[in-house]
Amino acid sequence: MPLMNMVQAINAAMREEMERDPTVVLLGEDVGVDGGVFRLSEGLLDRFGPERVIDTPLAEAGIAGVSIGMAMNGLRPIAEIQFMGFSYLTLNQMICHAARMRNRTRGKLTVPMVLRMPYGAGVKALEHHSESTEALFCHIPGLKVVVPSTPLEAKGLLTSSIRDPDPVIFLEPTRSYRMLKEEVPEGEYTVPLGKARVVQEGSDVTVIGWGAMVPQIQKAVDITSSSVSSEVLDLRTLSPIDWRSVLASVRKTGRLVVVHEAPKSFGVGAEIAARVAERELLSLEAPIERVTAPDITVPLPKGEDHYYISPERIADAIERAASF
């Protein structure tokens, strides 16, 4: 199998789905001639032509709205937003139309589209270029929210997202685009949506993360491995969450650490902590730990090292939970 980074794996997933299904189209700012702001769509315009790889104006609401119309009329659009901080202009279209079209029409119309975008800090790009506001989309019934953590995961999850009959928000960790390479199969490869991945089995503490936090968690687990046996869960899909896997792991270890790079207040980690408290309170042997960004705007590049989640912070939380 070829070695790919996440950029190459996402490009392969889009190319193979466009070859397999003539209704799959790609649209967004600079996705055609320039191959995308991070070159994820490089080569697709030459292969499939301007009718299926469409450069759009600088208009995120228009990209989302046109994609919804395409999806309702038989196409499977992949819409690219250049950075998560620009996606807020799509919220009206995604919340008021994409997310509720199936319910509004009693199943007569669905919106099989993917809204892709890079998210997160770690590359010293300030403000709108480093946002991690996945909770905004997770709060909307009718939207699935998917986050890959490795190149292999990215190919399988994006392929499944393109084939899904309903709208999917596909969040790509910017920091992981070219961080590592791994073997990625050519041809058919899917990962089911809504199913978490056990990255590592353990018995003392459950550590949950997704996207760019998974490599940071693995480093933290290495730091604490001599004294704590950690079980690591990669959620893969933030909405709907695989509660069965989350609760089973907490029942097994009795301790939970949740890690995300979004601000702490009202984040996905808060929802996980609340559900675990509701369903597994008597299994818990220590307070739930959350390791998150502070409740501030992403700082200028010089401040990012103080803002971003380090393996040492996660390791401290693991040890606190284990020793409680």
CA distances from 21 to 48, 98, 152, 187, 303 (A): 12, 21, 21, 13, 45
* Beta strand extents in the chain (DSSP E only): 3-4, 24-28, 53-55, 76-80, 114-119, 144-146, 168-173, 182-183, 197-200, 205-209, 230-234, 237-239, 256-263, 289-293
| Catalytic-residue membership of 97 | no
Which of 268, 312, 322, 323 lies closest to 290 in space, CA to CA?
268
Residues of the chain by 3-state class (helix, strand, coil), percent to 5: 40, 20, 40
Contact (CB, 8 A) for 3 and 183: yes
**How far is the C-alpha of 123 from the C-alpha of 198, rounded, in Å?**
27
**How far is the C-alpha of 204 from the C-alpha of 68, rounded, in Å?**
46
Contact (CB, 8 A) for 205 and 259: no
Q: Which of 97, 128, 129, 260 is catalytic?
A: 129
**How far is the C-alpha of 260 from the C-alpha of 309, rounded, in Å?**
8
**How far is the C-alpha of 211 from the C-alpha of 84, rounded, in Å?**
14
DSSP for 56-82, please give it: --S-HHHHHHHHHHHHHTT-EEEEE-S
Q: Are strands 256-263 and 205-209 parallel, antiparallel or unpaired?
A: parallel
Which of 181, 129, 131 lies closest to 155 in space, CA to CA?
181
Q: Kindly list the catalytic residues.
A: 129
